[in-house]
A = this chain, B = another copy of it.
Amino acid sequence: MGRERSDASRNRAKILDAAAGIVALHGVQGLSMAEVAAAAGVGVGTLYRRFGDRSGLAYALIDERERAFQSAFIEGPPPLGPGAEPALRIRAFLHALTDRTMAQLDLLLMAETSGTFARFGGAYDAYHAHLTMLVGRLRPELDAACVADALLAPLAAPLLAYRVRECGVGIERVRSALDALLDGILA
């Protein structure tokens, strides 16, 4: 686990820049590995060495965009950050996560289209750990880790994309339903 070589991190930056540019220009659909490699001026092999696969690249792009969100609930001001009651923080966190999921919907969909389960690395684990902590503090008798999964699951990108885009369900309805579940748990 040594440090990353200088040319390697330079390439990582070039690739992420190129990918972000392509997404801005052609949307997520235009993001083919060959095209990103060409735009970044590297070989496709380099892309795979850095990011593992297409979905890894998508996650890297998402991560870049949501550093702010991640620190908001870890160390930001209440009600998202520390200082508020757990029940309040849970609700604020799930609402905020709903918004960022909708904001990154296309990238998230691309990321989840992958045979591997790598999708649950990185960001998901961070959200899960955070929610587990809050639930455990509020209701110590529950299996906080599993309850956290169950509360996070309704915000999965494919489900939201289907309901909101295909069925025309408003995101506020999704939020309300989650709130109804929370009312039962947080009581």
Contact = CB atoms under 8 A, between A and B. Distances in A.
Nearest to A185: B184
Nearest to A169: B146
Contacts of A142: 177, 180
Q: How many copies does the complex hold?
A: 2
Contacts of A112: 158
Contact of A181 (B115, B161, B184): B184
A2 B112 CA distance: 37
A129 to B, nearest CB: 13
Interface in A157-187: 158-159, 161-163, 165-166, 169, 173-174, 176-178, 180-181, 183-185, 187
Contact of A156 (B113, B156, B184): B156
Interface size range of chain A in the complex: 35 or more
Contacts of A119: 158
A133 interface: no
Interface of A: 109, 112-115, 117, 119-120, 142-143, 145-147, 149-151, 153-154, 156, 158-159, 161-163, 165-166, 169, 173-174, 176-178, 180-181, 183-185, 187
Given A149-B163, A150-B153, A156-B156, 17 more contacts: A109-B115, A112-B158, A117-B158, A117-B162, A117-B166, A120-B158, A120-B159, A142-B180, A143-B173, A143-B180, A145-B169, A146-B163, A146-B174, A146-B176, A153-B159, A156-B159, A181-B181
